[in-house]
Amino acid sequence: MSVVELRLWGTDRTGPALLRMATGRRRLRGVPGLSFAKLLGTGHGRTFTPGDADPHHWGLLSVWDDGTDLDATPSAHRDVVAAWTAASHEQLVVRMRPLASRGRWSGREPFAPAGDAPAYDGSAYDGPVAVLTRARLRPSRAVSFWRAVPPVVPDLHDAAGLRLAVGIGEAPVALQGTFSLWDSPADVVRYAHGSAAHRDVVRRTRPERWYAEELFARLAVTSVTGTHRGVAP
């Protein structure tokens, strides 16, 4: 079963951060044990529109082969992480294991079992959980999507059991998603089925054809260290 890590950094200078985004992507290619990696911009998680972008917080999502020691990863990955950490005033590190995933990200299924490995049955899991969504919007449907999202946001941030909600994406326009931390899977289900606004957006997704590609994943949280915007979730 894969090991998944999300790092979120808080930085003061936007220009050097953009440069690290450009150079880091190249350096992460071909790292042994690293099956998937995305350097990400983030948003405040209040509107999930381009205006929500947060130029002072950036992230790295990495998926590793089972058994990889994340504290002794190959030098290219260590160097990328070290450069971000040295330039940051805070860092949040979340480590996880996939529970369930559907859809694709850049044509791949990053949280699917590798090779012939059986899918993990997470039905009995009742611990802290992360939810990750990612979508590539159809350009012709983006405005319709952005108009539909705002009613969902207040319900999300008031949801019982929510510890953190952050917008994420490879770009501020068309490639976007969310990352959220919850106390338990039951809290996620309660929000998904209890929020009328959320149910409406889900119901409209297929007929509106908002997405050219989408992914939804639930992950078991194994550790959380550090802070995001000064708060330890």
The tens digit of pLDDT for each residue in 64-75 reads 998 778 888 878
pLDDT digits (tens, 9 = 90+) for 72-117: 887 899 999 999 999 999 999 999 999 999 999 999 999 987 655 5
Divide the 233 residues of the chain into consecutive groups of 10 and give the mean pLDDT of each group: 94 94 90 93 72 88 87 88 96 96 94 63 82 84 65 71 91 75 94 67 64 90 97 94
What residues are paired with 220 via a beta bridge?
Answer: 97, 129
By C-alpha distance, which of 25, 198, 190, 217 is closest to 135?
217
Let me know if 35 is exposed, middle or buried by CB neighbors in 10 A (0-12, 13-18, 19+): middle
By C-alpha distance, which of 91, 134, 110, 109 is closest to 37?
110
Cα 224 to Cα 105: distance, rounded to the nearest angstrom: 24
What is the pLDDT at residue 120? Answer: 53
Strand residue runs (E) in 84-128: 88-103
What is the pLDDT at residue 24? Answer: 92
By C-alpha distance, which of 231, 139, 175, 172 is closest to 52?
172
Instruction: List, in order, residues 6 or more apart from 200 with CB less than 8 Å away.
Output: 148, 151
CA distances, 103 to each of 107, 132, 214, 230 (Å):
9, 12, 6, 33
CA distances, 47 to each of 31, 51, 112 (Å):
35, 8, 30
What is the pLDDT at residue 149? Answer: 65
> Angle at CA 45, nearest 5°, toward 62 and 187?
80
Is CATH 3.30.70.100 correct for 3-226?
Answer: yes
Task: Please give the structure tokens belonging to residue 171.
Answer: 């770009």
What is the pLDDT at residue 117? Answer: 54
Q: What does the domain layout of the chain look like in residue ranges?
A: 3-226
